[in-house]
Structure 1
């Protein structure tokens, strides 16, 4: 999937993880670890070694092999000029755990933030969610993660509630996927 960042002419594309990209994914992961950050939307990328992780995400991306304690999940990396700049996961439904957190998680590597990647990635995944028949998606963000809150609001997010997690306030949003939703960021 090729998409334009909203304020840029540079194309980025979304690709599924593969063993072919191990070095680039590990470089992406290392930047988060060096900053003592978790990788939201990385589906445990920051917790597992690469072989375990790639097997985990491959199993969970197939309805016949998805783990009984998880849900069908598509995960993509945003790539620009051969560099992995972001990751986004789309969970097709919500289980008991995800009812707090939501359908979509994403992260942009620390050195690439503030350039429109998160908004472009989210917009494309919203189009995917609509294509598979969802009428709305739920997302959450720590209240103090201003960049993520802005990304969600820019993509039509409406605040619905808050909850506490490890002494932090988490805000929950719903994005409606009405028939009028545009796919204007899709290039090819």
Structure 2
């Protein structure tokens, strides 16, 4: 992989059909959620989800933390490969979840796309003038931990949340 195979794109109205196929692939493989999507799995209507993530991009009284959500699109064929979101800041409530959450569609896992997608998001974090980001993952999610470490992440904390062992990886941006 040459490192320029993916680009980040903001979800839009014209992506509805391909986003719903992306979501359905996760469900068909037994995934209970669509990591990095800002809750796509919990919405029956695409337009409602799209409005939610668009509202999260703005800092308001109801939304004190701006969050940007992107899909990664493969340049060669336009296929949606993954989804990634970044909280521009963290509140105490969001700290356990970290700044960045990501996922790759089941049929494209294990091909190095997670690392490439995270590197693109870290470039976006630099544009936001963030100095560091925290990535949280379940302790038994070796693929997510490997992705974070491949981008310079170092394990800084282990903890439990709702009885599930978790880890925090810190990446200097």
Q: What are the Cα deviations for residues 135-172 of structure 1, in whole angstroms up to 9, with x where unaligned? A: 11111111111111000001011111111123321101
Contact 1:59/1:67 (CA < 8 Å) preserved in 2? no
The alpha carbon displacement at 1:176 in A equals: 0.8
1:67 offset after TM fit, Å? 6.7
Structure-1 residue corresponding to 2:54: 58
CA contact (8 A) 2:6 2:117 kept: no
**Aligned match for 2:13, one of 19, 24, 40:** 19
Q: What TM-score, normalized by structure 1, do the two folds share?
A: 0.84
SS of aligned partner of 2:41 = coil
Alignment of 1:63-82 (within 5 A): 63=59, 66=60, 68-69=62-63, 71-80=65-74, 81-82=77-78
Output aligned runs, 1:147-166, within 5 Å: 147-166=143-162
State the Cα distance separating 1:97 from its structure 2 match: 2.1
On the 8 A contact 2:72/2:83 being kept in 1, the answer is yes
TM norm structure 2? 0.91
Runs of at least 5 residues in structure 2 that lack an aligned partner in the other structure: none
Q: Is the 8 A contact 2:56 2:65 kept in 1?
A: yes
CA distance in 1, matches of 2:119, 2:89: 18
The answer for the alignment partner of 1:99 in structure 2 is 95
Q: Say which of 76, 81, 88 aligns to 1:85.
A: 81
Secondary structure at the residue paired with 1:46? Answer: helix
Unaligned runs of 5+ in 1: 1-6, 178-188
Residues 1:30 and 2:24 are matched in the alignment: yes
Is this contact kept in 1: 2:7–2:120, CA < 8 A?
no
The structure-2 alpha-carbon separation of the partners of 1:117 and 1:167, relative to structure 1 and needing over 3 Å to count, comes to same
Higher relative contact order (CA 8 A, sep 6+): 1
User: 4+ residue runs of structure 1 moved beyond 4 angstroms?
Assistant: none
Name 2:128's counterpart in structure 1.
132
CA distance in 2, matches of 1:26, 1:54: 12
Q: Does 1:122 align with 2:118?
A: yes
Q: Is the 8 A contact 2:8 2:70 kept in 1?
A: yes
User: What is aligned with 2:105?
Assistant: 109
The CA distance in 2 between the partners of 1:79 and 1:61, in whole Å, is 20
RMSD: 1.6
